[in-house]
Amino acid sequence: MEKQLKRNRGQHDSVSDVIQRYRGVLLIISVPLLLISFVLFVMPARSPADSMESLNRKFSPDFGSKRYAVIFDAGSSGSRVHVFCFDKNLDLVQIGNELELFEQLKPGLSSYPKDPKAAANSLASLLEKAEAVVPAEMRPYTPVKVGATAGLRQLEGDAPDKILQAVRDFLKKKSNFNSRSDWVTVLDGNQEGAYQWVTINYLLGKLGKEYSDTVGVVDLGGGSVQMAYAISESDAQKAPKASKGEDRYVQDMYLKGKKYHLYVHSYLHYGLLAARAEILKVTEKSGNPCILAGHQGSYKYGGAVYSASPSPYGSSMTSCRDVVIKALKVNGSACTHMKCTFGGVWNGGGGNGQKNLFVASFFFDRASEVGIVADPNAAVAKVRPVDFGSAASSACSTGLEDAKSKFPRIDANNLPYLCMDLTYEFSLLVDGFGIDPQQYITLVKKVKYQNSLVEAAWPLGSAIEAVS
């Protein structure tokens, strides 16, 4: 009878009693089911075609094997385009018979301060050549970046902004590449120096190694000069704070699994073409000992005109160097740091990252033109700062007429300034950067990489960033 009562009571248990009795089991089952239901509810229904379309928007059709990048270097002396192709390991892949497409033209964007549309259209032929080497199906996925350097930075008013906007509009309308507004910009001088350092160390296979195994870089452009080299962590911690409005001295970069403390500084107004103006300012209306005798004229730079007449005594390397040192402000600016280069700028502390120095751009050009580099077809050469001093002495002791036959490889427009250019390059290295006149440095135009020569310029560093 008692068993029957229990059985009857169990048959009449309420739903709530059952739930209460088995609540633990129900919770274990219901929570995952609720989560799955929620996910399915919030996810939109997608067909396989939709998924593939999404992938195609994000990646190129051949994403796993090749990626392209197009970089315009809009410098003060001209515009250049670089096209690079990378494999999945970020190693360069050949484009035809070369590891990059490189084309250039003159003048640069800064030569059109009052005609932004003409400035943008000046890139048309370079764009056409870039598109010719990138497969049609890859173009929509290929980034195109334009980095304007010191020449555009020095234009007055809203001219730089108008030119950049015209270039953005031009690329949107004429280009089949992937263009973005923030990829067309005036390149920060320190960023330019950092990209240059990445480029050269990448090509030399130095990235991923200890900072002491990397090389330092000095890049002499038309409007600015950059120095960049890796420093130790202890030196990085000693870095002074930059003045208000200036970029910090040290950038942390992570490359191939290695952290680098990169000292980098860009000196605006001290590229080779801009420095001519600074040197002429020192003597103002009087004759300048850096101008070859026999030249009478003026020098135009950055929208200003400077008198460019020789001293009554002709040109002299010694007198010219005195003027250059004043233009560099080697002794004229108080150095508030442990050690300075020129103009009161911290020198980074030196160290192993600076011992092996690669020097590029106008340093290489002038050295090749006057015979410091013996082989005119060479891409790399070992020289010393004193070699620039010797070449300067030779040039400064020559009048304009004799210089035409003595230096036949110098462009006629540059010939009157040859004494000035060579003296400046010597003084910049020795008086400005404090490099021993007898120290060997490497002049570099191109770097050998996988049995090919690649232009040693900042755009490769920018391309690596764009496709990473």
For 102, the enclosing helix (H) or strand (E) is strand 101-105
Tokens linked to 355 = 């011992």
How far CA 368 is from CA of 3, 287, 364, 372, 447, in Å, comes to 111, 29, 6, 6, 16
Q: Quick one: residue 390, left, alpha or beta (phi over 0 = left, psi -120 to 50 = alpha)?
A: alpha
Q: Are 182 and 171 in contact (CB under 8 A)?
A: no
Report CA torsion sign: 183, 186, 188, 191.
positive
Any idea which residue has 């906007």 for tokens? 165
Is 192 known to be catalytic?
yes
Question: CA-based diameter of the chain, in Å?
Answer: 137
Burial 425-447 (b: 16+ CB within 10 A, else e): bbbbbbbbbebeeeeebbbbbbb
Which one of the listed residues 100, 131, 192, 278 is annotated catalytic? 192
Q: Give the span between the Cα atoms of 410 and 408, in whole angstroms.
A: 6
Residue type, 19: I
| HSE-CB of 388 using CA atoms within 13 angstroms | 33
- The residues that are catalytic are 192
